[in-house]
Amino acid sequence: MVACTHREVVRTCDNEGFALLAYCYMPDHLHLTLEGTRDNSDLRRCVKVFKQRVAYVLRTEFSVPRAWQEGYYDHVLRSDETTDLVIRYVLDNPVRAGLVARSEEYQFSGALYWPEAM
């Protein structure tokens, strides 16, 4: 299921003008770090489309009746935040949840680059 979800997230990000900088698919939620690549990149539309696409795949291929909660939480980087720190936060989620000892061990996460531990 994670592979199907990731495929649809990547496809939608590409179509909607976002670079997928980091991702982490947790057992009951996901974290994404996205960066707009076009002047008209629309985060609301991107999230809406990938949630629809993933829900369709999960419903038709895996008989999952409901994939998402309503809405989502977003966070726009402030001037005092770095992309590296946000990516590190995303990648460290499985460690904080006790799923793995080191973030590199978690098979359902990744990034365009792997920020050094900070």
Structure tokens at 92: 């460290």
The pLDDT score that the predictor gives to residue 118 is: 41
- CATH no. for residue 107? 3.30.70.1290
**116 within some domain:** no
Do 50 and 91 touch, CB atoms closer than 8 A?
Answer: no
Mean per-residue pLDDT, 92-98: 97
**43 within some domain:** yes
Q: Which of the two residues, 59 and 117, has the higher pLDDT score?
A: 59
* pLDDT confidence tier of residue 116, bands split at 50, 70 and 90: low
| Residue-number span of the structural domain to which 64 is assigned | 2-111
How many domains does the chain fold into? 1
Nearest to 2 by CA among 47, 61, 44, 46: 61
Give, in degrees to the nearest 5, the angle at Cα 27 between 98 and 91. Answer: 60
**14 within some domain:** yes
**34 within some domain:** yes
**pTM greater than the 0.95 cutoff:** no
Q: Is the pLDDT of residue 96 over 60?
A: yes
**75 within some domain:** yes
Run of H or E residues at 59: helix 43-62
Mean per-residue pLDDT, 81-105: 95
**21 within some domain:** yes
- Taking CA atoms, 70 is separated from 3, 48, 51, 66, 94, in Å, by 22, 10, 10, 11, 23
In angstroms and rounded to an integer, the radius of gyration of the C-alpha atoms of the chain is: 14
